Amino acid sequence: MINKKHFTKTNKFGFVLGAVLLAALTNGAGSADGQGLRITVAPPVVVVAPPVVVAPTVVVQDDYVYYPNYGMYYNRGRNQYVYLNNGAWVTAPAPYGVTADVLLASPSVHMDWHDSPEKHHADMVKRYPKNWKSGPADGDRKH
């Protein structure tokens, strides 16, 4: 036989306990998100560098004229004078100890080498001494 009296009779403690259980179950069952762990992955950041523009390389070939009276060279490709001063080779925008006009008026020889004058100077001094005069066979050139 079923005792219906047992189900209908409640005391205050049973009522409060039932309300707390109902509230707990309703909170937990109402949202599946609240029970799990949420992981958010940010999209990767892609940084694209701007293209590198490289200027073309210009190679200037050294082209020397030698002035034997002054022991001085003029690099026509770089517009620079090269000379020996106190045992050291100097490169300068203007001649040393003489004006450019006087230097241009003096005898000169175009060199057939394109590297440093210091590598050839000893031979140039022998071939073209200080008081050397140019002639038609010498390849005399002015810059």
pLDDT grade, residue 49 (50/70/90)? confident
88 in a structural domain: yes
72 in a structural domain: yes
CA proximity to 71, closest of 60, 52, 50, 86: 86
The count of structural domains within the chain is: 1
111 in a structural domain: yes
Per-residue pLDDT at 29 exceeds 50:
yes
112 in a structural domain: yes
49: which residues sit within 8 A by CB, 6+ positions away? none
33 in a structural domain: no
The dihedral built from the CA positions of residue 12, 13, 14 and 16, taken in this order, carries a sign that is: positive
43 in a structural domain: no
pLDDT grade, residue 52 (50/70/90)? confident
139 in Cβ contact with 110 (< 8 Å) = yes
Q: What is the per-residue pLDDT across 60-79, written as a single tens digit (0 to 9) for each?
A: 789 999 999 999 999 998 99
16: which residues sit within 8 A by CB, 6+ positions away? none
71 in a structural domain: yes
Model pTM? 0.55
15 in a structural domain: no
Domain range enclosing 114? 64-138
Per-residue pLDDT at 19 exceeds 80:
no
